[in-house]
Amino acid sequence: MNKDLIKANIIDIRNPKSLSTSKMLVDSNILYFCYYDRFQDLEFIDRAPKKYQLIEYPKYYEIMLSSKIELFIHKISIIEFVKTVIEAEMQIAYCKSDPTLNLDNYKPKYFRVNNPQTYYSVQQNILTYLASIKKTFKMIGCDEKDITLDMCLSDFYLTWQKTLADPNEAIMIADANKLGICSVFSDDFDIATFKSINFYTANRKVV
């Protein structure tokens, strides 16, 4: 790898020196390694994180928590975490339905639309993970003053549950609704699964 590309100051967390920061922005993959729990199932389909990721990151996260530094998460990272968990959960569910466990045949959107109850169940599980996460973090990436992570996640989840949409579509719709925008112009079938939306489309599955 071309080392000239590395511009950041690198701290190897495997040999942590004392933390010299009072504020840390935490990325979505850390949430995944610490808060998601089905890696043994993912191992069977060759989709599990690497061993060092599951050992080193929870360990360092614990060190940060004990050091009482402020932990921040961006709204986008929450959505990324949700998307990663969805991908994992739906792949696991797909492999249960296909005895050959051949993910080459897996089509995410097709599987989701044809197994909505599975997707709704995954949404419920994600609510549990998010409830744990919001105990620890402060949120950034929101223009509104005084909005808490709890409020943001509540709006997002209320909009997202019982739809077949990606979480980024849900946060888009939730933010739009807050501004009184209820009409959406798109070709994405998933938008049709939101309640109280005027969906302007020529999507053949819907019109």
Partner 1 sequence: MSTNTAVVEMLKYYGEHCVSLYKGNDLFNKIIKMLEENSNIVLDFKNVLTITSSFLNASIAKLYGQFEEAYFLNKIKYLNLDETDTQLLNLVIKNAKEHFSKSPDVRKLENKIVEDTINKKLDE
- The residues of the shown chain that bind partner 1, judged by CB under 8 A, are 33-41, 43-46, 54-55, 58-59, 61-62, 65-66, 99-101, 125, 128-129, 131-132, 135-136
CA R_g for the chain: 19
- Of the two residues 2 and 22, which places its CB atom closer to partner 1 in the complex? 22
- Of the two residues 136 and 201, which places its CB atom closer to partner 1 in the complex? 136
* Shortest Å, Cβ 66 to partner 1: 6
CA dihedral in degrees (118, 193, 88, 79; nearest 10)? -140
* Shortest Å, Cβ 113 to partner 1: 24
Strand pairing partners for 25?
72
Phi, psi of 70 (to 5 degrees): -75, 130
Tokens of 134: 């919001």
* Shortest Å, Cβ 23 to partner 1: 18
- The one-letter amino acid at 65: L
* Distance set, CA 174 to CA 82, 122, 137, 206 (Å): 15, 20, 21, 22
- Of the two residues 71 and 142, which places its CB atom closer to partner 1 in the complex? 71
* Shortest Å, Cβ 19 to partner 1: 14
- Of the two residues 131 and 206, which places its CB atom closer to partner 1 in the complex? 131
Tokens of 45: 């389909």
- Of the two residues 95 and 173, which places its CB atom closer to partner 1 in the complex? 95
* Number of neighbouring beta carbons within 10 Å of residue 202: 7
* Shortest Å, Cβ 37 to partner 1: 4
Tokens of 43: 């191992």
Pairing between β-strand 183-185 and β-strand 70-74 as defined by DSSP bridges: unpaired
